[in-house]
């Protein structure tokens, strides 16, 4: 289960820009820092601008900055605004016809699980992402997922 | 954000077999019912068998049946056993090197949200999926996701 690359990079783009509050950041430098294409980042920047998370300044010396304080950029809100859809299973898509006989509760239960996922993200903002890791979040990886990936920074 | 097709079909396969407890079901009939390939279903059946959710009987007149009562087939358990990974964002993958400077709390927060998602599914079993829809689950779709897909059955 994954968020799209679009949302993944959108979060990281906001983190990068949030780490440089003293100046405008350019697409070129973020593309270089994350080793991703400028074309991809331009789409993401545009989307984040449309959603009110980023401001862009055109022209020579231009770039982007956060449109609000990191504490006012809600993580759940960012994910909802960038992720193209939340069709966790096919039958959540509006153009799907169920081939099972009779009613089932799959969509209701999956929607409830998705709601829990997004509600959890709603508790956090970009300011939390940028804060030094604490015991409470750094060790949250539950044992039921198996071995925690060996990534220490990010 | 989506589960893989593998997990999506695994849930539906269990639902189909659970709807026919009086007999063995064949891959051919499930493939026909869902309009998906037999090859794909064979892989899913094998995985569900390995995970202890399905039993298969070989030979003429063979097929598959649930390996436990629907009330003992936990939805969270099924998703954990079939979904290839839960790398919601790239930096949860073990082969990823973070390109951001300094620590961030993204993995901890995303892992917490994923934990909430799976914990919600842990409350339900295949028996709940097969039960007639009730007010509590049929109308759980939160308004924050926008318009609810117009799927009435499934």
pLDDT digits (tens, 9 = 90+) for A6-18: 888 899 999 999 9
User: Does residue B119 carry a pLDDT above 80?
Assistant: yes
Q: Is A141 within 8 Å of B111 (Cβ atoms)?
A: yes
Residue B100: partners with Cβ closer than 8 Å, 6 or more residues away = A12, A15, A16, A19, A33, A153, A154
Instruction: Read off the pLDDT band of B88 (50, 70, 90).
Output: confident
- pLDDT for position B143: 32
pLDDT digits (tens, 9 = 90+) for A96-117: 555 554 556 888 888 899 999 9
Domains of chain A: 5-133 (1.10.10.10)
User: Does residue B148 carry a pLDDT above 70?
Assistant: no
SS3 assignment, position A115: helix
Residues B61 and A94: their CA atoms lie apart, in Å, by 38
CA distance B88 to chain A (A): 4
Helix, strand, coil percentages, rounded to 5, for chain B: 50, 10, 40
Residues A148 and A123: their CA atoms lie apart, in Å, by 23
- Complex confidence, ipTM: 0.75
Mean pLDDT of B40-61: 92
Q: Tell me B66's DSSP state.
A: E
Residue of higher predicted confidence among A128 and B143? A128
How would you class B141 by CB atoms within 10 Å of its CB: exposed for 0-12, middle for 13-18, buried for 19 or more?
buried
% of chain B at pLDDT higher than 70 = 75
Mean pLDDT of the residues in chain A: 80
The verdict on a CB contact (< 8 Å) between B87 and A2 is yes
CA distance A143 to chain B (A): 10
- pLDDT for position B103: 58
Chain A residues lying within 8 Å of B87, measured CB to CB? 2, 149
% of chain A at pLDDT higher than 90 = 49
Mutate: best of A1, A30, A81, partner B, most B CBs <10 A: A1
The verdict on a CB contact (< 8 Å) between A117 and B119 is no
The verdict on a CB contact (< 8 Å) between B153 and A102 is yes
Instruction: Read off the pLDDT band of A145 (50, 70, 90).
Output: very low
Residue of higher predicted confidence among B146 and B30? B30
User: Does residue B72 carry a pLDDT above 90?
Assistant: yes
Residues B44 and A145: their CA atoms lie apart, in Å, by 20
Cβ-Cβ contacts under 8 Å between A and B: the total is: 242
Chain B residues lying within 8 Å of A8, measured CB to CB? 89-90
């Amino acid at each position: 289960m994954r968020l799209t690359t679009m949302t993944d990079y959108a979060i990281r783009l906001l983190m990068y820009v949030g780490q440089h509050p003293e100046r405008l950041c350019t697409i070129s430098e973020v593309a270089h820092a994350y080793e991703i294409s400028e074309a991809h980042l331009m789409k993401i920047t545009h989307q984040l601008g449309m959603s009110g998370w980023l401001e862009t300044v055109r022209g020579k010396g231009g770039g982007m900055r956060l449109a609000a304080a990191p504490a006012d950029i809600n993580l759940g809100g960012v994910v909802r605004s960038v992720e193209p859809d939340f069709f966790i299973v096919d039958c959540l898509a509006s153009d799907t016809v169920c081939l099972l006989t009779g009613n089932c509760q799959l969509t209701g239960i999956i929607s409830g699980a998705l709601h829990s996922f997004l509600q959890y993200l709603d508790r956090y903002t970009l300011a939390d992402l940028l804060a030094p890791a604490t015991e409470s979040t750094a060790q949250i990886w539950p044992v039921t997922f198996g071995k925690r990936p060996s990534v220490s920074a990010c």
